Chains A and B, each alone.
Chain A
Amino acid sequence: MNRKIKKATTHVIQNEGLIFEKSSPGKKGYKLPELDVPEVNPSQVLGNAARADLGNMPEVSEIEIIRHFTRISTWNYGVDTGLYPLGSCTMKYNPRINEIVARLDGLANAHPYQPEKVSQGALLILQALRKALMEICGMEAITLQPAAGAHGELTGILLVRAYLQSQGNPRKKILIPDSAHGTNPATAAIAGYEVENLKSNAHGMVDIPSLEAQMNEDVAALMVTNPNTVGLFEQEIHKVAEIVHRKGGLVYMDGANMNALVGKVRPGDFGIDVMHLNLHKTFSTPHGGGGPGSGPVACKKIMEPFLPIPVVVTKKDGTLGFDYDRPQSIGRVRAFYGNFGMHVRALAYIMANGRDGLVQTTEDAVLNANYIRKKLDGVYELPYSTPSMHEVVFSDHKQTAKGIKTGDIAKRLIDYGFHPYTVSFPMIVHGALMIEPTESESLEEMDLFIDAMKNIAEECENTPEVVLSAPHTTRIGRLDETRAARQPILRWKPQAQSAKGD
């Protein structure tokens, strides 16, 4: 065992096959209540629409279910396990009170169509969250309906389209910086727009002369991420907005990095017209292995008439209700009202922090990123000298001399007991290592991480093969991804097992 690896030690981990491999006829994990109405014969009630059997669905007992999912869970790394510096994803602590309040009977078991009269508590939560988020963004209207960030982007761009259409011309193009998340161009295309790329300048920011040259009456909007994906605040954002506005376009902000700004500066105050938030990033709702997310969209008054239906309103009698009568609305982007369970959690997070805690959180997130930046500067190459906000992007330039790439360093970090950073993104930095510690990390945990990164840099020099063949301490080694894509096995089948389980 390498004595430089301080955070982690190997220990026995349980093997576990697929649930289907434990199944045998007659085992049961359920018991239904006695039926209090007459029994029916399905083939009589349904005729030829009745189903004969359920094929290979598993048959297992309760203890086997608990062990199965518990064992496989131990093969995962989570924020609860340690530092999870996955840049751009904001892997912060998920407070447990959020989980408790989201599971309260009145909130977890409320039906979306139950009468408004008996839904006042749920409606008040929506209203309180809307108010807090508008204040944080400096915006005048908001919808909580989008189910995730990319869904919010789509909603925002549809609002842009509807607004411009109401002015006479929806226009043709969306300008997107080359540092943007992949969702931005995909969203613009789904919303029926052509995508035009905008070059970044030598500081990793929107290039003002290029923007001036490319902005014209065909451009509906600029989609900008601020701080951008390199972790830099767009210092000339006011000029950017002015250039776009002068030609009648709108500025959309991808709010994925809003955790660098909360309580310090408001997008509505620096010229942004419409933006989305990721409640699962900035507002601590759990990432859950890849969702659920929640992507509210906040905008200026001019776009309010176009918000998706329904909108929460205070009615004449003082109670809360939903307004569906909005003829200019872009329509719906999701059934019901969005990911309400995530709205509950985000509001609980805002209440726990309060105005004081929200600002301290932002400061700590930026402080942590800059601490790591300072400590690793020189060990890894910094492609931009511009100051970082909540995340820092290095490149693998120094290590490539030994044939080691960002992806290899990431794998070696696993042996040191950490989840890797974001690999090879943003694409404008060749061989990027994108590190976002978030505010949830203590000095002790960060120092362990910094030590690990420094040790790996030494290994790259002295024992590159150790890095190239990492990870060495996990249950399984690097997996053959080419084979997975060339001969896709996307489900279990009783006979067609190509590899034996452990």
Chain B
Amino acid sequence: MRYLPKSPTDRELMLREIGIRSVDELFAPIPAEYRLKRELDIAPSMAEADILDWFRQRAADTAASGYANFLGAGAYHHYRPVVIDTLISRGEFFTAYTPYQPEISQGTLQAIFEFQTMICELTGMEVANASMYDGSTAATEAVLMAARVTGRRSAVVARSVHPEYREVLASYAKNQGIPLAEVPFLENGRVNAAALEKAITDGTACVLIQSPNFFGTIEDVAAVAEIAHRKGALLVVAIAEAVSLGIVKPPTEADIVAMEAQSFGVPLSFGGPYAGVIATKEKFVRQMPGRLVGQTVDKQGRRGFVLTLSTREQHIRREKATSNICTNQALIALMATVFMTVYGREGLKELATQNLAKTAYAVEQFGKTAKVLFQGAPRFNEFVVQTSKDPKTLNGRMLKQKIIGGLPLKKFYPELGNASLWCCTELTRRVAIEAAATALSPQKAKPQVVSTEVAQ
């Protein structure tokens, strides 16, 4: 086996040194009756070339950059600068583990410290953790954190938060005895503030909204914060589309920001791995879950970085820990750090503005052939379209033109009828927008195959 660095002679020598005849003796502690007496039902060892061929075939059976893709909904299609993979492929980064030994882990530690700093700059929060599993679990952990901070045991959640984030939250909250109240959205796509105010009680730990929300609408964070705070509840703002932070005002009025960083240079990869982040105010840091890196000095006063405030964590606190999370998403956070560095102060703004322009153009074009819902509030790079036909039928037709249409919403929002959620990013070409708008038209138009988007 090519991954195993031992010759048969090495193995024999080692067995002799140990003082046994056969390796089987090392497995003697396993009661004989339970040992597997046959081979595993798995194919024998494959050559590298055959493995590559097999996966190439699977990749060919899966649509990707050969299609114009209008899907967003928590997983976004942005260009990934090539230096990201160059840098994260360095073995020193990708074959290291959690930096428990700071003297030989300063690379990972400093990169995380830079990540934490950039997330603070972008979200307007004072502290950010070293990353979590993804946006859905970050939002969930943020709600649990709010319950610890306030000592209150329920939460109010906007219906315009990503449906799968809400499902994850429900799975956790159920067993923690945290009831969740859902608040509807208005015709402009924003959360219904009057209903929200009514839903908050003396027992409400926090209000959870998403901005831009699942429909792409930007919430009035300041107004929601005012309502929540007046009733002693915290405000948690989830951000699924991180690129929005380049041009949308950060939710500084929030107490906790729960973010998905996938948009920052992380491949779509059929849904993961991504990286969640929690950012908050300094005063709540000891209730924050996840790893944290802090700056300190050695005996000679040289700057260095260490994992810190770990008394919150499970390996010390066990059942009293702030969370059971152990692993974070360091390598994915590193992708995001490189991405944020490449675009930087000006580039993130320019990138976000391009997303805004493509979406504004698409809304205008789609408005000619279908109904664009949720008018009257600002949106970032997503919008909801209502059609006379079932969007699944329309999408099926568009697939032949190499267009992957918007996400049909019936499963999540039956009340919206034949609605679908569309997303445009800097990678969406004008020609694709026009072809998709035409395809939505009730009048039969001549189908036209859209050439591949800008190369990834």
With A57-B348, A106-B60 as contacts: A476 and B302 at CB distance below 8 Å: yes
CB pair B63 A119 closer than 8 Å: yes
The answer to whether A355 and B113 touch across the interface, beta carbons within 8 angstroms, is: no
In the complex, what distance in Å separates the CA atom of A439 from the CA atom of B306?
30
B358 cross-chain contacts in A, Cβ below 8 A: 37
Task: Give the Cβ gap from A159 to chain B, nearest Cβ, in Å.
Answer: 11
Query: Is B4 in the interface zone, CB < 8 Å from A?
Result: yes
Complex contact A54–B29 (CB within 8 A): no
Q: A113-B73, A357-B1 are in contact. Are A387 and B29 (CB under 8 A)?
A: yes
Q: Which of B93, B295, B354 has the most CB of A within 10 A?
A: B295
Q: Given that A108-B64, A190-B172 are known contacts, is A50 also in contact with B247, CB under 8 Å in the complex?
A: yes
Q: Please determine whether A481 and B456 come into contact, CB atoms closer than 8 angstroms.
A: no
Query: Are the C-beta atoms of B430 and A36 separated by less than 8 Å?
Result: yes
Q: Identify the stretch in B145-153, B198-206, B226-234, B314-322 within 8 Å (CB) of chain A at 4 or more residues.
A: B314-322
Report how far A247 CA is from B118 CA in the complex, Å.
Answer: 53
Contacts A78-B93, A335-B74 hold; do A367 and B26 have CB atoms under 8 A apart? Answer: yes
- Is there contact, CB below 8 Å, between A289 and B334? yes
Q: How far is the CA of A358 from the CA of B4 in the complex (A)?
A: 11
Question: A77–B297 contact, CB under 8 A?
Answer: no
Interface string of A288-319 (1 = CB under 8 A from B): 11111110000000000000100000000000
Tell whether, in the assembled complex, residue B92 and residue A439 are in contact, meaning their CB atoms are under 8 Å apart: no
* Nearest residue, chain B, Cβ from A132: B42
B342 touches A89 (CB 8 A): no
Contact, CB under 8 Å: B292 / A108:
no
Q: Complex formed: what's the CA distance from A19 to B344 in Å?
A: 11
Please report which residues of chain A, range 447-492, place their CB below 8 angstroms from some CB of chain B when the two chains form the complex.
Answer: 471, 474-481, 483-485, 488-492
Segment at the interface with A among B102-110, B180-188, B366-374, B443-451:
B102-110
CB of B61 closer than 8 Å to a CB of A: yes
CA distance A500 to B24 in the complex (A): 57
With both beta carbons as reference points, the residue of chain A lying nearest to B250 in the complex is identified as A51
Within 8 A of A (CB), among B34-79: 34-36, 39-46, 48, 51-52, 54-65, 67, 69, 71, 73-75, 77
B45 close to A29 (CB less than 8 A): no
Q: In the assembled complex, which residues on chain A have CB atoms less than 8 Å from the CB atom of B415?
A: none
| In the assembled complex, B159 has its CB within 8 A of some CB on chain A | no
Residue in B30, B31, B350, B357 whose CB lies within 8 Å of A38: B357
A164 at the interface (CB under 8 A from B): no
Interface string of B306-327 (1 = CB under 8 A from A): 1011010111111111011111
- Given A334-B134, A367-B26, A387-B29, also A60-B341 (CB < 8 A): yes
Interface residues of B in 203-258 (CB under 8 A from A): 218, 245-250
Say yes or no: A110-B270 contact (C-beta < 8 A), given A331-B171, A374-B19: yes
Does any Cβ of B come within 8 Å of A379's Cβ?
A: no
- Knowing A101-B52, A371-B18 are in contact, say whether A108-B350 is a contact too (CB < 8 A): no
CA distance A81 to B103 in the complex (A): 15
Judged by a CB distance under 8 angstroms, whether A189 is at the interface is yes
Instruction: Specify which chain A residues have a CB less than 8 angstroms from the CB of B384 in the assembled complex.
Output: none
- Quick check: is A42 within 8 A (CB to CB) of the other chain? yes
**B141 → A minimal CB distance (Å):** 10
What are the residues of chain B within 8 A of A476 when measuring CB–CB? 102-103, 106, 298, 302, 304
Interface stretch, picked from A208-216, A232-240, A397-405, is: A232-240
Interface membership of chain A positions 116-140, coded 1 if the CB is closer than 8 angstroms to chain B and 0 otherwise: 0111111011000000100110000
Q: Are B54 and A95 in contact (CB under 8 A)?
A: no
Q: Is the CB of A39 within 8 A of B357?
A: yes
Query: A289 touching B98 by the CB < 8 A rule?
Result: yes
Complex Cα distance, B313 from A187, in Å, reads 12
Q: Interface residues of B, CB < 8 Å — how many?
A: 202
Q: Give which listed residue, B6, B175, B270, B273, contacts A111 with CB less than 8 A.
A: B270
Which one, A55, A120, A232, A471, contacts B103 given CB within 8 A?
A471
Q: Name A293's closest neighbour in chain B (CB-CB).
A: B327
Q: Please measure, in the bound complex, the distance between the C-alpha atom of A19 and the C-alpha atom of B345, giving whole angstroms.
A: 13
Which residue on chain B has the smallest CB distance to residue A292? B273
Point out the residue from B103, B107, B299, B308 that lies within 8 Å of A73, measured CB to CB.
Answer: B107
Quick one: which of B102, B116, B272, B396 contacts A341, CB cutoff 8 A?
B272
B44 touches A483 (CB 8 A): no
B58, A125: Cβ atoms closer than 8 Å: yes
Question: Residues of A contacting B1 with CB < 8 Å?
Answer: 353, 356-357, 360-361
Contact check, A488 vs B399: say whether CB atoms are below 8 A apart.
no
A112–B75 CB distance below 8 A: yes
Query: Would you give the shortest CB distance from A22 to chain B, in whole angstroms?
Result: 10
User: Counting CB contacts under 8 A, is B164 at the interface?
Assistant: yes
Closest-by-CB residue of B relative to A388 is B26
Residue of A110, A135, A183, A477 with most partner-chain B CB within 10 A: A110
Q: Which of B13, B114, B426: most chain A Cβ within 10 A?
A: B114
- Known: A45-B360, A355-B40. Contact between A335 and B164, CB under 8 A? yes
Q: Mark B375-414, 1 if CB is under 8 A from A, else 0.
A: 0001000000000000000011001000010010001000
Question: How close is A92's CB to chain B, nearest CB, in angstroms?
Answer: 8
Q: How far is the CA of A186 from the CA of B51 in the complex (A)?
A: 39
Q: What is the minimal beta-carbon distance from B173 to any residue of chain A, in angstroms?
A: 10
Contact A419/B308 with A20-B117, A110-B269 known, Cβ cut-off 8 Å? no
Q: In the bound complex, how far is the Cα of B299 from the Cα of A366, in angstroms?
A: 40
Write out, one digit per residue, whether chain A residues 435-448 have a CB within 8 A of any chain B CB (1) or not (0). 00001111101000
> Closest CB-CB distance, B128 to chain A, in whole Å?
7
> Nearest Cβ in chain B — how far from A80, in angstroms?
3
Interface residues of B in 120-170 (CB under 8 A from A): 120-122, 126-128, 130-131, 133-137, 162, 164-165, 167-168, 170
Q: Contacts A264-B36, A481-B308 known; A288 to B345 CB distance under 8 Å?
A: no
Asked if residues B30 and A101 are in contact (CB atoms below 8 Å), the reply is no
Assess whether B56 is in contact with A72, with CB atoms less than 8 Å apart: no
Assuming the A-B contacts A335-B74, A371-B18, are A502 and B303 also in contact, with contact meaning beta carbons closer than 8 angstroms in the complex? Answer: yes
With a cutoff of 8 Å between Cβ atoms, the chain A residues found around residue B110 in the complex are 18, 72, 75
22 A-B interface contacts by CB (under 8 A): A18-B114, A23-B344, A49-B378, A58-B118, A58-B345, A65-B87, A80-B92, A95-B3, A102-B269, A110-B63, A121-B61, A132-B42, A186-B317, A233-B29, A287-B95, A291-B330, A331-B167, A332-B171, A357-B1, A368-B14, A374-B19, A375-B17
Which 6 pairs of residues, A with B, have the shortest CB-CB distance? A288-B331, A336-B271, A106-B59, A80-B91, A121-B61, A112-B271
Give me 17 other A-B pairs in contact (C-beta within 8 A), A263-B36, A351-B54, A371-B18 excluded: A35-B354, A37-B430, A59-B346, A101-B51, A104-B55, A185-B318, A186-B314, A192-B176, A288-B331, A290-B329, A292-B327, A335-B164, A354-B44, A479-B304, A485-B311, A491-B127, A492-B117
